C-alpha cells in the first residue's frame, strides 16, 4: 500500500512568534495593579471591594450586552473589560454609592469603547471617560472623601449603600484629600504619608510606592512604553520646581506633586493605555510632556484640586495627530548618497 | 574590549527568535545519494529565465551546461547528474505555479563521478571576462534570494568597491548550512573570497558571523593567512542580521540610502555559500550543480546538513532523512521567517533553497487574532523603522495607495512585525498582498 503524503498547509512565513498575546498583556496589567488593589482593601475595607466589584460588573455587563453574539465570549476573555472596570474603580472615592460605580463602569465601556468599534478603536481611555461622566453627573458624591477605616475590614461606609437615584446619603465623616487640603486650606501633607498611603483619596491613588512597584513589573514585562510615565513625571517635577522658584509657599514641591492625587496611577496605568497613546517613540515623549504640563496647570490654576483625568483625556484627543507627525525616520531615507 | 566590540556591531530594532540551531549545528555535511528524477526549473534565479540548449532525449553529463543565460540578469544551468533529458515542459514549482523546466532522468549505471576540471586561470581574466565566467558557472546568491552573482560584480564606472563583505550571519532560525560550510571548508571560503576581492579591487574582506557560532569564528580566524587582508567580525545575534543592508550598518556603521544598492556605499555583499561556489568553479572547475541544505524542524526524523544536487525532489531529500514524522503539517523551503511553504513533496530543491524545514501542528496551529491595540511592538521590531501597525490597518481597509505615503515599498518583508505582534495580526502577509497589488496595478497601467 502506498503511503499517502500528509496534507500540507500553506501558512506563510514567519511561522515563529514571540510568546506574548494581547490578553496576556491585559492580564499583566491586572497583576501589576494587584498590590495597589490590596492596599485599597487594607485602607478602606470591604467598601473598596464593593466599589471595585460594582465598576467591574458594570464594565463587563456593557461588554457582554453590546458584543456580537458570535464573538461575545471572545471579547470577554481578552480581559480588557475587567481591566477598565478595575482602573475606573481605583479612581473613585471609597464612599461612593455602589450604583454610581456600576453606572460609571457601564458608561465607560459603552461610550468609551463599544461605540468606537471595540477594543483597539477607541480614542479616549474608557476608564477615564467613565470617571469624567461620574464627575459631571454626581459632583458631590465624587468629591466626598472619607478617611481610612483604620483596620476595621467589615465597616461599610454608609454612602456606599445609597439607593439608586435618591440623593446620595452623605455622612459627616469626610476628609479632604492632600491636594484639596493644599488648594483650599494651604495645608501640606507629609511626603511619607503620601508614599505609604496614609491619606484620604480615591481607592487606588493613596499608595504611591505600590503603584510604582506595579509599573516596574510592567516595564520588565515590556507591557508599557516607559517613555510615557517617565516624561509625565519628569515634566511634573521640572514644571513644579520652576513654579516653586516664584513662590515656594503657594505652589507644591515637586515630590508632593508626584506622590499626591492620581498622578502615579494616571501616569503608569492610564496614560500608557496603548490604544489611546501615541505609538511612535517621539510621539510618546510629546504626549507625556503634554500630560505633565496640563496636570500642573489644572492643579495650580484650575478650579479643581486634581487634573490628571482631564490632562490625559485632552492628550488622548491629540494622539492621532501626534502619531501622524512623529513617524520615525525610515532606514536609508534622509541619508546622503555618496 | 570584546564586549564593547559586540555592542558596536549591531543595527537598531530587530527581534530575537529562539534560534533552534542545536538540531543540526553539530552534524557534518553529508551527501545525498543520487536518485532517479531531477527537475531543473529555468527560472530558479531572480531575473530572466535561462534558455535550454539541450533537447529531449539528449544525453547529458554531470556538470554539462543545459541552459544558457536568457539575458544579462540571468545565469546558466548545468545538469546535476549524468543521464538523459526526458522532457522540457511545465512543472510545478515552489510557488505552486507551473513553470518551464528541464526534467532529467539519471542514468542508473553512470558513476556520477565528476572529474575535477582544470582550474581557471582567473588572475589573467579581465573583469568583464570574469563576470562572464561567473554567469556561465550559474552562480547565484545562495542565501535565499537567488540573485545572479555576476550582476552584483558589474559596477558602473566611477563606483569603487572598497570592502567585500561575506555574510555568514545565518540569522534565520534552524538553518546551519553557512555555519557548517565555514567550519568544514574555511579554505575554500577564503580562497573564493580572495578571488572576489582581487577581481573587485577591494581593499579588504570582512566576514560577518553572529556570535552564536563561536566555533566558526575561531576556525576562520585560524585559517586566515597573515598576508590576507581578511578580518572576521563577530555580530550580535539578532534577526535580521543577515539582511545585507542591516549587516552593512552593523559592520561599517553606514546606512545604504533607500532605493540604492550596497555598492553605493562601496560594499559588495555575498553569502558564504556563494563565495564557496566561486572557489569551486575557479579552482576546481565545478559549476553550481549542488548546494548545502539544512533539513530540520520538529517533523523530520533525522535532521541533517546535506549536499543536495539541484533539482532533487524534496521527497527524496526527506526520505533520506528518515521520512516525515506523523503529524507533519507544513514544509517550508528556506528559513522559518522568510521561507516559502510548499504544497507538494515533488517540488525540486533550487539554487536558493537553504533549508527544508518540517513543522508539525504545534507551530502551525491557527492563532487567534485580536484587534490591534497600537502597542508599538512592531515599530520597535521593524529594522527599517516603518510603522507596520499603520500599514496593516491600511491594508485591511484595502487603502493600498495610502500605504505608499507610509513607505510600504521600503519593506523587505523580513517578518519581524508579525513575529512581534501580540495580537497575532499577519502584518507582513498583509503588506505583501498590498505590495503585490500595487506593483501589479502598475504593470497594468503601464
Give the pLDDT score at A222: 85
- The answer to whether A177 touches A199, Cβ cutoff 8 Å, is yes
Is residue A166 predicted with pLDDT exceeding 80?
Answer: no
Whether residues B253 and B164 fall in one domain: yes
CA–CA distance, A133 with B383 (Å, rounded to integer): 43
How many domains is chain A partitioned into structurally? 1
The residue of chain B nearest to residue A335, with distances taken between CA atoms, is B257
Whether residues B49 and B84 fall in one domain: yes
Q: Higher model confidence: residue B373 or residue A201? A: B373
Give the pLDDT score at B5: 46
Is residue B1 predicted with pLDDT exceeding 50?
Answer: no
Contact A10 B341 (CB under 8 A): yes
pTM of the model: 0.89
Task: Report the mean per-residue pLDDT for chain B.
Answer: 90
Residues in chain A within 8 Å Cβ distance of B324: 6
User: Omega into B240 within 30° of 0, i.e. cis?
Assistant: yes
CA–CA distance, A27 with B281 (Å, rounded to integer): 59
Contact A10 B330 (CB under 8 A): yes
Contact A279 B256 (CB under 8 A): no
In a domain, B117, yes or no: no
CATH number of the domain encompassing residue A320: 1.10.3430
DSSP B326-372: TTEEEEEES-TTT-EEES-TTSBP-TT--EEEEEEHHHHPPPPP---
Domain final residue, candidates B363, B392, B419: B363
Whether residues B162 and B238 fall in one domain: yes
The residue of chain A nearest to residue B384, with distances taken between CA atoms, is A331
In a domain, B12, yes or no: yes
- pLDDT tens, position by position, A256-293: 888 887 899 999 999 999 999 999 999 999 999 999 99
Residues in chain B within 8 Å Cβ distance of A8: 328-331, 341-344
B87 pairs with which residues across the strands? B103
Contact A13 B265 (CB under 8 A): no
Is residue A338 predicted with pLDDT exceeding 50?
Answer: no
Write down the H helix ranges in A45-125. Answer: 46-66, 72-77, 80-90, 98-112
Interface test with B, best of A14, A23, A71 (most B CBs within 10 A): A14
Whether residues B393 and B414 fall in one domain: yes
Give the pLDDT score at A178: 78
Band the pLDDT of A302: cuts 50, 70, 90: confident
Is residue A150 predicted with pLDDT exceeding 90?
Answer: no
For strand B83-92 and strand B59-60, is the pairing parallel, antiparallel, or unpaired? Answer: antiparallel
Q: Higher model confidence: residue B367 or residue B205? A: B205
Residue of B373, B406, B421 lying closest to A274 (CB–CB) = B373
Whether residues B280 and B165 fall in one domain: yes
- The answer to whether B33 touches B436, Cβ cutoff 8 Å, is no
From residue B422, alpha-carbon distances to A222, B288, B425, B426, B433 in Å are 12, 42, 8, 11, 21
Band the pLDDT of A160: cuts 50, 70, 90: confident
In a domain, A107, yes or no: yes
Please tell me the distance in Å from A316's CA to the nearest CA on chain B.
13
Q: Phi first, then psi: give them for residue B332, nearest 5 degrees.
A: -110, 135
Residue of B245, B266, B389 lying closest to A332 (CB–CB) = B245
Give the torsion sign (CA, B145, B146, B148, B152). Answer: positive
Residue A56, domain extent? 25-325
Whether residues B280 and B348 fall in one domain: no
- pLDDT tens, position by position, B50-88: 999 999 999 999 999 999 999 999 999 999 999 999 999
- pLDDT tens, position by position, B173-198: 999 999 999 999 999 999 999 999 99
Give the pLDDT score at A332: 85
CATH number of the domain encompassing residue B251: 3.40.50.11540
Contact B363 A336 (CB under 8 A): no
- pLDDT tens, position by position, A44-69: 888 889 999 999 999 999 998 988 87
- pLDDT tens, position by position, B267-287: 999 999 999 999 999 998 899
DSSP A222-286: T-S-THHHHHHHHHHHHHHHHHHHH-TTTSPPHHHHHHSTTHHHIIIIITT-GGGS-SSHHHHHH
Average pLDDT over residues B299-313: 94
In a domain, B350, yes or no: yes
Interface test with A, best of B366, B375, B412 (most A CBs within 10 A): B375
Please tell me the distance in Å from B6's CA to the nearest CA on chain A.
21
- The answer to whether B290 touches B321, Cβ cutoff 8 Å, is no
Whether residues B149 and B187 fall in one domain: yes
How many domains is chain B partitioned into structurally? 3
Give the pLDDT score at A1: 43
In a domain, A12, yes or no: no
**∠ CA B393-B359-B296, rounded to 5°:** 120
Residues in chain B within 8 Å Cβ distance of A17: 367, 418-419, 421, 424
In a domain, B344, yes or no: yes
First and final C-alpha spacing in chain B: 56
Give the torsion sign (CA, A85, A87, A88, A90). Answer: positive
Contact B329 A332 (CB under 8 A): no
Q: What distance lies between CA B298 and its chain's CA centroid?
A: 22
Residue of A9, A16, A275 lying closest to B337 (CB–CB) = A16
Please tell me the distance in Å from A329's CA to the nearest CA on chain B.
6
Please tell me the distance in Å from B386's CA to the nearest CA on chain A.
6
In a domain, A30, yes or no: yes
Whether residues B171 and B232 fall in one domain: yes
Residue of A118, A330, A335 lying closest to B385 (CB–CB) = A330
Domain final residue, candidates B284, B318, B336: B284
- The answer to whether A144 touches A170, Cβ cutoff 8 Å, is yes
Average pLDDT over residues A102-124: 92
Whether residues B224 and B335 fall in one domain: no
- A165 by Cβ neighbours in 10 Å (0-12 / 13-18 / 19+) ranks as exposed
Whether residues B227 and B330 fall in one domain: no
Mean pLDDT is lowest, of A23-32, A141-150, B372-381, for A141-150
Q: How large a percentage of chain B has pLDDT more than 90? A: 72
3-state secondary structure (DSSP) of residue B230: strand
- pLDDT tens, position by position, B134-177: 999 999 998 878 899 999 888 888 888 999 999 999 999 999 99
Whether residues B167 and B302 fall in one domain: no
Contact B429 A336 (CB under 8 A): no
In a domain, B369, yes or no: no
CATH number of the domain encompassing residue B320: 3.10.20.600
Contact A338 B266 (CB under 8 A): yes
Q: What distance lies between CA B206 and its chain's CA centroid?
A: 19
Please tell me the distance in Å from A44's CA to the nearest CA on chain B.
34
3-class secondary structure per residue, B25-66: CCCCEEECCCCCEEEEECCCCCCCCCEECCCCCCEECCCCEE
Residue of B266, B373, B384 lying closest to A275 (CB–CB) = B373
- B2 by Cβ neighbours in 10 Å (0-12 / 13-18 / 19+) ranks as exposed
Interface test with B, best of A16, A118, A272, A319 (most B CBs within 10 A): A16
Q: Phi first, then psi: give them for residue B101, nearest 5 degrees.
A: -155, 160
Please name which of A236, A315, A327 lies closest in space to residue A281, comparing C-alpha atoms: A327
In a domain, A9, yes or no: no
User: What number of C-beta contacts closer than 8 Å exist between A and B?
Assistant: 165
- pLDDT tens, position by position, A131-144: 999 999 988 888 88
> Which residues are within 8 A (CB) of B314 and not within 5 positions of it... i.e. 6 or more apart?
B331, B333, B342, B345, B346, B347, B348, B349, B356
In a domain, A11, yes or no: no
In a domain, B125, yes or no: no
Contact B410 A5 (CB under 8 A): no
The residue of chain A nearest to residue B263, with distances taken between CA atoms, is A338
Cα atoms found within 13 Å of the Cα of residue B304, Cβ hemisphere only: 16
What b/e sequence results for B400-425 when a residue is b if at least 16 CB atoms lie within 10 Å of its CB, and e otherwise?
bebbeebbbebbbbbbbbbbbbbbeb
Residues in chain A within 8 Å Cβ distance of B345: 5
Give the pLDDT score at B383: 94
- The answer to whether B328 touches B319, Cβ cutoff 8 Å, is no
CA–CA distance, B342 with B350 (Å, rounded to integer): 13
Residue of A6, A13, A331 lying closest to B255 (CB–CB) = A331
Residue of A14, A119, A280 lying closest to B419 (CB–CB) = A14
Domain final residue, candidates B232, B265, B284: B284
Residues in chain A within 8 Å Cβ distance of B334: 13
Give the pLDDT score at B4: 47
CA–CA distance, A180 with B42 (Å, rounded to integer): 80
Residue B298, domain extent? 32-107+288-363
In a domain, A60, yes or no: yes
Interface test with A, best of B373, B389, B411, B430 (most A CBs within 10 A): B373
Whether residues B225 and B293 fall in one domain: no
- The answer to whether A108 touches A126, Cβ cutoff 8 Å, is yes
Is residue B243 predicted with pLDDT exceeding 70?
Answer: yes
Residues in chain A within 8 Å Cβ distance of B421: 17
The residue of chain B nearest to residue A25, with distances taken between CA atoms, is B422
Residues in chain B within 8 Å Cβ distance of A114: none
Amino acid at each position: 500500500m502506498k503511503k499517502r503524503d500528509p496534507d500540507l498547509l500553506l501558512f506563510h512565513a514567519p511561522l515563529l512568534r514571540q510568546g506574548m498575546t494581547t490578553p496576556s498583556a491585559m492580564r499583566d496589567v491586572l497583576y501589576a495593579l494587584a498590590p495597589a488593589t490590596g492596599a485599597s482593601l487594607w485602607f478602606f475595607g470591604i467598601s473598596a471591594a464593593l466599589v471595585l466589584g460594582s465598576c467591574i460588573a458594570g464594565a463587563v455587563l456593557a461588554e457582554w450586552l453590546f458584543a456580537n453574539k458570535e464573538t461575545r465570549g471572545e471579547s470577554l476573555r481578552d480581559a480588557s473589560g475587567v481591566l477598565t472596570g478595575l482602573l475606573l474603580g481605583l479612581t473613585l472615592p471609597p464612599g461612593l454609592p455602589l450604583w454610581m460605580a456600576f453606572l460609571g463602569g457601564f458608561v465607560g465601556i459603552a461610550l468609551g469603547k463599544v461605540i468606537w468599534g471595540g477594543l483597539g478603536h477607541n480614542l479616549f481611555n474608557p476608564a477615564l471617560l467613565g470617571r469624567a461622566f461620574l464627575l459631571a453627573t454626581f459632583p458631590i458624591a465624587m468629591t466626598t472623601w472619607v478617611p481610612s477605616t483604620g483596620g476595621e475590614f467589615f465597616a461599610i461606609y454608609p454612602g456606599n449603600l445609597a439607593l439608586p437615584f435618591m440623593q446620595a446619603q452623605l455622612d459627616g465623616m469626610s476628609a479632604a484629600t492632600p491636594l484639596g487640603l493644599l488648594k483650599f486650606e494651604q495645608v501640606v501633607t507629609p511626603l511619607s504619608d503620601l508614599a505609604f498611603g496614609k491619606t484620604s483619596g480615591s481607592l487606588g491613588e493613596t499608595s504611591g510606592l505600590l503603584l510604582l512597584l506595579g509599573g516596574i513589573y510592567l516595564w520588565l514585562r515590556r507591557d508599557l512604553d516607559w517613555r510615557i510615565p517617565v516624561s509625565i513625571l519628569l515634566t511634573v517635577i521640572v514644571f513644579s520646581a520652576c513654579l516653586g522658584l516664584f513662590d515656594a509657599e503657594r505652589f507644591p514641591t515637586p515630590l508632593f506633586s508626584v506622590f499626591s492625587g492620581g498622578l502615579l496611577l494616571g501616569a503608569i496605568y492610564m496614560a500608557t493605555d496603548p490604544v489611546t497613546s501615541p505609538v511612535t517613540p517621539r510621539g510618546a515623549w510629546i504626549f507625556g510632556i503634554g500630560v505633565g504640563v496640563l496636570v500642573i496647570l489644572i492643579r495650580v490654576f484650575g478650579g479643581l484640586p486634581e487634573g490628571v483625568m482631564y490632562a490625559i483625556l485632552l492628550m488622548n484627543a491629540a494622539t492621532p495627530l501626534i502619531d501622524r507627525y512623529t513617524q520615525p525616520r525610515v532606514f536609508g531615507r534622509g541619508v546622503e548618497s555618496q | 574590549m570584546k564586549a564593547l566590540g559586540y555592542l558596536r556591531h549591531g543595527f537598531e530594532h530587530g527581534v530575537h527568535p529562539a534560534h533552534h540551531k542545536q538540531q543540526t549545528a553539530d552534524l557534518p555535511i553529508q551527501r545525498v545519494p543520487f536518485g532517479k528524477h531531477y527537475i531543473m526549473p529555468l527560472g530558479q534565479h531572480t531575473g530572466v529565465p535561462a534558455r535550454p540548449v539541450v533537447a529531449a532525449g539528449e544525453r547529458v553529463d554531470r556538470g554539462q551546461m543545459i541552459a544558457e543565460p536568457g539575458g544579462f540578469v540571468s545565469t546558466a544551468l548545468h545538469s546535476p547528474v549524468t543521464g538523459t533529458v526526458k522532457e522540457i515542459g511545465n512543472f510545478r514549482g515552489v510557488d505552486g505555479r507551473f513553470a518551464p523546466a528541464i526534467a532529467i532522468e539519471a542514468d542508473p549505471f553512470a558513476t556520477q563521478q565528476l572529474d575535477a576540471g582544470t582550474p581557471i586561470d582567473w588572475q589573467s581574466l579581465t573583469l568583464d571576462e570574469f563576470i562572464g565566467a561567473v554567469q556561465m558557472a550559474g552562480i547565484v546568491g545562495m542565501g535565499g534570494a537567488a540573485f545572479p552573482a555576476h550582476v552584483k560584480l558589474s559596477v558602473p564606472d566611477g563606483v569603487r568597491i572598497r570592502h567585500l563583505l561575506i555574510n555568514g550571519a545565518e540569522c534565520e532560525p534552524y538553518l546551519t548550512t553557512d555555519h557548517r560550510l565555514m567550519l568544514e571548508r574555511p579554505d575554500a571560503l577564503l580562497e573564493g573570497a580572495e578571488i572576489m576581492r582581487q577581481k573587485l579591487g577591494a581593499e579588504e574582506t570582512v566576514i560577518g558571523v553572529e556570535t552564536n557560532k563561536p566555533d566558526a569564528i575561531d576556525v576562520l580566524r585560524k585559517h586566515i593567512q597573515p598576508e590576507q587582508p581578511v578580518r572576521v567580525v563577530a555580530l550580535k545575534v539578532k534577526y535580521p542580521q543577515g539582511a545585507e543592508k542591516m549587516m552593512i550598518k552593523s559592520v561599517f556603521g553606514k546606512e545604504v540610502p533607500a532605493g540604492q544598492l550596497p555598492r553605493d556605499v562601496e560594499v559588495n555583499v555575498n553569502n558564504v555559500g556563494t563565495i564557496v561556489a566561486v572557489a569551486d568553479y575557479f579552482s576546481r572547475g565545478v559549476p553550481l550543480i549542488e548546494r548545502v541544505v539544512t533539513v530540520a524542524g520538529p517533523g523530520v526524523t533525522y535532521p541533517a546538513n546535506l549536499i543536495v544536487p539541484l533539482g532533487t525532489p524534496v521527497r527524496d531529500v526527506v526520505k533520506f532523512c528518515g521520512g516525515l514524522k506523523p503529524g507533519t503539517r507544513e514544509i517550508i523551503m528556506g528559513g522559518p521567517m522568510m521561507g516559502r511553504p510548499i504544497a507538494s513533496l515533488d517540488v525540486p530543491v533550487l539554487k536558493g533553497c537553504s533549508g527544508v524545514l518540517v513543522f508539525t501542528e504545534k507551530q502551525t496551529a491557527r492563532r487567534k487574532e485580536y484587534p490591534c491595540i497600537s502597542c508599538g511592538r512592531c515599530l520597535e521590531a521593524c529594522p527599517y523603522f516603518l510603522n507596520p501597525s499603520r500599514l496593516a490597518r491600511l491594508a485591511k481597509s484595502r487603502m493600498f495607495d495610502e500605504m505608499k505615503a507610509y513607505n510600504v515599498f521600503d519593506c523587505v518583508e523580513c517578518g519581524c512585525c508579525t513575529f512581534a505582534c501580540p495580537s497575532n495580526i499577519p502584518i507582513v502577509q498583509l503588506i505583501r498582498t498590498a505590495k503585490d497589488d500595487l506593483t501589479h496595478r502598475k504593470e497594468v497601467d503601464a
